[in-house]
């Protein structure tokens, strides 16, 4: 039996080094399922990494959670699914906190939640409730990012930020800097921004490639075709009549000259020649 401490340390290392590739997420999910007898420890490890890592790693862990729950449901190991359903609010709060430090991860959380709802892992009511919280956080984060466009520069008719922070008579006393509100540093580093751009580019590339993937099972192909086909409407009937009229016009234009000269009537069949007498002996032509 493997050492629980060693398993936890290796799993934490895999979560810290997750990237935008599907291989890294599947590898970590397979490791978690391999040691599913320690599912509670590994689940607490996921929550711990979400609360102490940076913005990009949190997004990668969120995508990893979708892979883990999908593989766990297929292997009938519902303990991971049950624990994640219980702590999904805590996961969302860690990936995109209320202080605005994870505003870039709001779309990531929405996409993962919609995927889990489509796989029947999360209830629709749960996703709707979380979506209401995400709308408030997305709006508050957007307003917060635009709250101080000039930073420490002075505006005409307004005191400077340094003066308002030191003078108690200005703006009601010292105020907290925007980057330190709620104890969080909102502005990411340049390296984190470049890493996020590369990871988002890789994910979009994979998403475009997956759009052309055809399921190997014919039944799955039929379901995919049915899901992507829109409902039959009045425009479809009009388009069908136009295509039939165009087909008939092309058929009439491509008819032979004898058909055209007789005004579209059918050609008369030529009479067959009479057999020549052979004096009772059959003649083969």
The alpha-carbon radius of gyration of the chain (Å, integer) is 34
pLDDT computed for residue 196 by the predictor? 84
Question: Could you tell me which residues come within 8 angstroms of residue 255 by beta carbon, excluding any fewer than 6 positions away?
Answer: 264
Query: If you average pLDDT over residues 4-25, what whole number do you get?
Result: 90
Cβ atoms of 101 and 55 closer than 8 Å: yes
C-alpha to C-alpha distance for 183 and 9, rounded to whole angstroms: 28
Q: Of 83-92, 189-198, 261-270, which range is least confident?
A: 261-270
Question: Is 80 exceeded by the pLDDT of residue 143?
Answer: no
Share of the chain above pLDDT 70, in %: 70
pLDDT computed for residue 169 by the predictor? 46
Q: Of 35-39, 184-188, 225-229, which range is least confident?
A: 184-188
Q: Which of 185, 85, 72 is nearest to 125 (CA)?
A: 85
The sign one gets for the Cα dihedral 209, 111, 38, 76 is negative
Task: Say which residue, 283 or 200, is predicted with more confidence.
Answer: 200
pLDDT computed for residue 217 by the predictor? 77
C-alpha to C-alpha distance for 6 and 31, rounded to whole angstroms: 13
Task: Say which residue, 197 or 61, is predicted with more confidence.
Answer: 61
pLDDT computed for residue 209 by the predictor? 66
pLDDT computed for residue 213 by the predictor? 66
Cβ atoms of 100 and 186 closer than 8 Å: yes
Cβ atoms of 109 and 96 closer than 8 Å: yes
Task: Say which residue, 245 or 207, is predicted with more confidence.
Answer: 245
Question: Could you tell me which residues come within 8 angstroms of residue 214 by beta carbon, excluding any fewer than 6 positions away?
Answer: 221, 224
Q: Which residues of 44-56 are buried (b: 16+ CB within 10 A; e: fewer)?
A: ebbbebbeebbbb
Per-residue HEC secondary structure of 48-112 comes to HHHHHCCHHHHHHHHHHHHHHHHHHHHCCCHHHHHHHHHCHHHHHHHHCCCCCCCHHHHHHHHHH
C-alpha to C-alpha distance for 160 and 154, rounded to whole angstroms: 5
C-alpha to C-alpha distance for 234 and 241, rounded to whole angstroms: 11
C-alpha to C-alpha distance for 79 and 212, rounded to whole angstroms: 34
Instruction: Please state, rounded to an integer, the average pLDDT across all residues of the chain.
Output: 76
Cβ atoms of 145 and 139 closer than 8 Å: no
In tens, the pLDDT along 84-132 reads 999 999 999 999 888 777 778 888 899 999 989 988 899 999 999 998 8
In tens, the pLDDT along 154-188 reads 444 444 444 444 444 444 444 444 334 333 445 77
Query: If you average pLDDT over residues 26-51, what whole number do you get?
Result: 92
C-alpha to C-alpha distance for 3 and 25, rounded to whole angstroms: 23
């Amino acid at each position: 039996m493997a050492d629980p401490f060693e398993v936890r340390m290796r799993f934490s290392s895999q979560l810290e080094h997750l990237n935008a590739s599907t291989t890294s997420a599947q590898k970590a999910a397979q490791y978690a399922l391999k040691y599913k007898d320690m599912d509670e420890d590994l689940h607490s490890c996921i929550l711990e990494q979400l609360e102490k890592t940076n913005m990009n790693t949190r997004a990668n862990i969120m995508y990893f959670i979708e892979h883990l729950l999908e593989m766990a449901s297929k292997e009938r190991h519902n303990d991971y699914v049950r624990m994640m359903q219980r702590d999904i609010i805590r996961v969302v709060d860690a990936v995109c906190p209320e202080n605005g430090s994870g505003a870039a991860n709001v779309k990531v959380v929405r996409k993962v939640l919609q995927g889990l709802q489509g796989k029947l892992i999360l209830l629709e009511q749960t996703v709707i409730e979380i979506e209401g919280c995400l709308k408030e956080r997305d709006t508050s984060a957007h307003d917060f990012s635009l709250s101080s466009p000039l930073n420490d520069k002075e505006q005409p008719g307004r005191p400077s930020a340094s003066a308002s922070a030191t003078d108690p008579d200005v703006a009601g006393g010292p105020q907290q800097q925007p980057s330190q509100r709620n104890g969080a540093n909102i502005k990411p580093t340049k390296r984190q921004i470049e890493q996020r751009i590369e990871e988002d580019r890789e994910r979009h590339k994979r998403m475009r490639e997956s759009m052309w993937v055809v399921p190997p099972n014919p039944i799955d192909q039929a379901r995919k075709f049915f899901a992507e086909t829109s409902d039959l409407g009045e425009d479809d009937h009009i388009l069908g009549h136009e295509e039939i009229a165009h087909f008939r016009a092309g058929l009439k234009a491509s008819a032979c000259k004898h058909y055209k000269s007789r005004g579209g009537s059918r050609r008369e069949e030529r009479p067959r020649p009479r057999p020549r007498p052979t004096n009772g002996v059959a003649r083969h032509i």
